[in-house]
Structure 1
């Protein structure tokens, strides 16, 4: 089977954008990281079902839970950013609209991630 890629592109593993498999690997690594984090979150929330506010805030104030929750939020929004970037690049064909959409999505996801992490810190530190 013949390839449409250049010999240099085949040797480096790059696609047409020069990014190559880096984006693919980062998506897979963030997916792998999310599996234990989301399992931990689901089991933790199931264990906290029916708990009062004080119990949940005490649980989140525990340093390991605070760190894992921050990692879960950061990984989730990072993975969402990477996935939405691929979707926008594949389906938005107008260059200006593509650029504006990528920037808007990136800013929105950063704002949401920072808001979530600040909320976790405020709960964890009782302010």
Structure 2
């Protein structure tokens, strides 16, 4: 597909959301692990800046959550993880639909140009 800021930004968003999904799954899997700190994935601010500067490429970063811990030192909150998962799934679906729409537009343009 032809590279554009939009395509690059959507690809970066999908990568970041995929990483967030994996981190949520790991957090939930370790909900009872003593001393485990939840992971948080951030990329939206960097993505916004990358789109503004015209590159669209923004890596996601994984950080340890600074939320309060329980007595066993674990700070995974199932409610937080569930809401984050729902939000992430919806954002991933939206980004996938946008990527598909852009691909269809490029395909139509190429088809019209060759006709």
Structure number with greater Rg is 1
Structure with greater strand percent? 2
TM-score tier, shorter chain, comes to 0.3 to 0.5
TM-score w.r.t. length of structure 1: 0.36
TM-score w.r.t. length of structure 2: 0.39
